[in-house]
Structure 1
Amino acid sequence: MRPLDTRTLNGVWSTALLPLREDEGIDFRRLADTLDAVLGSGVHGVYTNGSAGEFHTLGEAEYDRLHDLVAERCTAAGTPFQLGAGHPSGQLSLDRIRRAAPLRPGAIQVVLPDWLPLTEDEALDALRRMAGAADGVPLVLYNPGCAKTQAGPALLARIAAEIPEVVGLKVPSVTVAEGLTDRFAVFVAGHTLASAHRAGAAGSYSNVACMSPAGAARWFAQMTADPAAALALEARIRAFLDAHITPLARAGYCDPALDKTLCAIGGWSGTGTRVRWPHRPVPEDRIPALRAAARRALPELLDDPLGPGTPPHM
């Protein structure tokens, strides 16, 4: 596909969550079904291997098979896609970038090497080498709040000045990139998008899309058509998450478990709640009550349920 740039990289992007079998292998049939549902939802693109995609657990053969599938389905549908090449090892990340580049995604998402925090000069050197490995495919720096090296305003300003291949950022808040929204497409957490969009954010790699890709896409359109209503919906999304998802985080469930829980709440996919060892999933028996609470709180966000009890594509 055509490379993305600061102008064309925007909107709501949906992650490729991993449906897992009992042996923790990826169920690629269910993954293909889920991708088909996402590609018909109206989201602006698909990405792989963020935190929700459990990138740190993938073997290299799984990584290649996942990317072949996503590239094939998205290309056939005419939907932009980004491939995540992150790995805690910088060396393995470079290998992943080199293997992702021939699939010609719109961008390659990268994380800074993760075992030890990097100095600013080390972070810049890492990104320069990653850009060289990407063979002309632009980079997006995936730097959420859980990243060990936090790219603050000073480092982001140096990246803006010195590494033109980086066209986008995933950051905890648009204020981290204040003054740089013309240089970068700044992406934020999905549930903050309406307010962040008013402050210059371009889009989100969206936890809201985990719950409802179509609903998240409708909400993004509302941010232009009726900003006040979009902000009011954001307040209710945040209230729902605070009441029902934050307690699960405090109980120790990891981010991928929470995102898969949101997907199960939405009922649009058969991904399931299982996550890879050593993390634990939110129990399936918690989902019906959470789903009912979401439909009471956010009826216009969620798609119509596809039937009582069992998600589709199982």
Structure 2
Amino acid sequence: MKHLSSNNLIGIWCSIQLPILADNSIDFNSLKEEMDMLTNTSIQGIYSNGTAAEFYNQTESEFDGINEMMADICHKKRFPFQIGASHMSPIISRERIRRTKALNPKAFQITLPEWLPLNSDEQLSFLAEVIEEADPIPVVLYSPGHSKTVLTPSDFKRISDRFPQLIGIKVGAGGLEWYAEMRKMNGGLAVFVPGHRLATGIKEGVAKGSYSNVACINPNAAQKWFEIIIDNIDEGIRIENQILHFFEEGIVPLARAGYSDAALDKLLWALSGRSTTSPRLRWPYIGVRDHVVEDTRKIAQRILPDFFQV
């Protein structure tokens, strides 16, 4: 399978979710069902071990089993996939790349280490090690806003100039000033913004796609929206405003109530009812309850009816 580059890393990619049983173990049967379903959609590809896949709360044998299953399914179907090798520990992140490199993903996703913030020299040291370990497979950096080390547009240019093997970044995005700075960056990275802000990101001349929370609701609908954005930006923005309306009414109150990003992504996944994966999170984290799923589904069906018809 040919690896990705900053030129062809585009579009909608959807995270697998981590199905957790009542005894706190991983439901690998539901996980296979998820992967089979996602690899029959129109999206660009799937990826493992993002936030919704709870990469921070797995044993290493579980990590290996998840990615071996994904690679087997995707290679058989010739469906693109990326492996999330992130971990709070830089040593474990590097070892995850080393162990799964033979699975030949189209790219690896990583985050910077957590617990302590990294200065600029430490950032470069970490990236140099993991990029060398991944070679010749390219790397995508996930830089969430809640990270201990928050990177700026100038930081992205600094690291992209140093590491051509770093082909993309997943960011939280910002306001007009942030987009202006990102346009100046000119670092050659494929920039991926949050799914519910994709039309704005493309309109601002910055985004090439999304590792999409919106795709959790309906992958095919998210892909169709991406194509609409490319063909008709005004219509794409109109749909984005609908999505933002749903988020403001159905998701933001839950975030304010203390639910984590992982809990909310799993909620979005559960809205369609297409999978046996429940919104349960692995201990000690708490997912939304079934009645919350039902209430949020009603809001989504009212505001985003097209996402339940595609």
TM-score band w.r.t. shorter chain: over 0.9
2:284 maps to 1:263 = no
User: Residue 138 in 1 paired to residue 144 in 2?
Assistant: no
Distance 1:52 1:143 in 2: 15
- Asked if the contact 2:156–2:187 (Cα under 8 Å) also holds between the matched residues in 1, the reply is no
1:104 to 2:86 alignment: no
Q: CA contact under 8 A between 2:138 and 2:167: conserved in structure 1? A: yes
- Equivalent residue for 1:213? 219
1:194 aligned to 2:199? yes
Q: Map Cα deviations across residues 229-266 of structure 1 (whole Å, 9 max, x no partner).
A: 11101001011101111111111111111011111112
1:301 aligns with 2:307: yes
> Secondary structure of 2:271's partner?
helix
Aligned counterpart for 1:177 among listed residues 176, 182, 207:
182
Q: CA deviation at 1:227?
A: 1.8
For 2:201 and 2:87, the matched residues in 1 are separated by: 28
Task: Give unpaired runs (5+ residues) of structure 2.
Answer: none
Asked if the contact 2:160/2:187 (under 8 Å) is kept, the reply is no
Structure 2 Cα separation of the partners of residues 210 and 75 of structure 1:
22
Q: Quote how far apart the aligned CAs of 1:77 are.
A: 1.7
Give the aligned partner of residue 2 of structure 2. Answer: 2
Equivalent position SS for 2:109: strand
Q: Matched residue of 2:17: which SS?
A: coil
Q: 1:278 matched to which residue of 2?
A: 284
When structure 1 is superposed on structure 2, of 131-140 and 221-230 the one drifting more is: 221-230
| Structure 1 ranges of 4+ moved more than 3 A | none
Letter in 1 for 2:291: D
Inter-partner Cα distance in structure 1 for 2:153 and 2:203: 19
Q: Determine whether 1:64 maps to 2:64.
A: yes
Contact 1:212 1:268 in 2 (8 A): no
CA distance in 2, matches of 1:210, 1:82: 17
8 Å Cα contact 1:192/1:234 also seen in 2: yes
Residues 157 and 187, structure 2, Cα contact 8 Å, conserved in 1: no
Is 1:43 the equivalent of 2:48? no
Deviation of the 1:181 alpha carbon: 5.7
Could you say which residue in structure 1 is the equivalent of 2:246?
240
Contact 1:266–1:303 (CA<8 Å) still a contact in 2?
no
Residue 262 to residue 181, structure 1, CA distance change in 2 (3 Å): farther
Alpha-carbon offset, residue 136 of structure 1: 1.1
Contact 1:210 1:263 in 2 (8 A): yes
C-alpha displacement at 1:115, in angstroms?
1.1
Q: Percent identity?
A: 39
**1:104/1:137 contact within 8 Å kept:** yes
Q: Provide the TM-score with structure 2 as the length reference.
A: 0.95
Counterpart-to-counterpart distance in 1, 2:79 and 2:244: 29
Q: Secondary structure at 2:305's aligned position in 1? A: coil
Equivalent pair of 2:13/2:44 in contact (CA under 8 Å) = yes
Residue 287 (1) aligns with residue 293 (2): yes
Question: Separation in 1 of the partners of 2:93 and 2:230?
Answer: 37
Cα shift at 1:78: 1.6
Deviations 1:45-70 (A, max 9, x none): 10111111110001100000000011
Cα distance, 1:145 vs. partner? 1.2
Count of residue correspondences:
304
Unmatched runs of 5 consecutive residues or more in structure 1? 305-314
Q: C-alpha separation between the residues in 1 aligned to 2:122 and 2:291?
A: 46
Other structure's SS at 2:12 match: strand
Q: Give TM-score, length-normalised by structure 1.
A: 0.94
The 2-side partners of 1:77 and 1:180 are apart by 37
Equivalent AA in structure 2 for residue 3 of structure 1: H
Once the 2 structures are TM-superposed, how far is the Cα of residue 220 of structure 1 from its aligned partner?
0.7
The residue type equivalent to 1:35 in the other structure is M
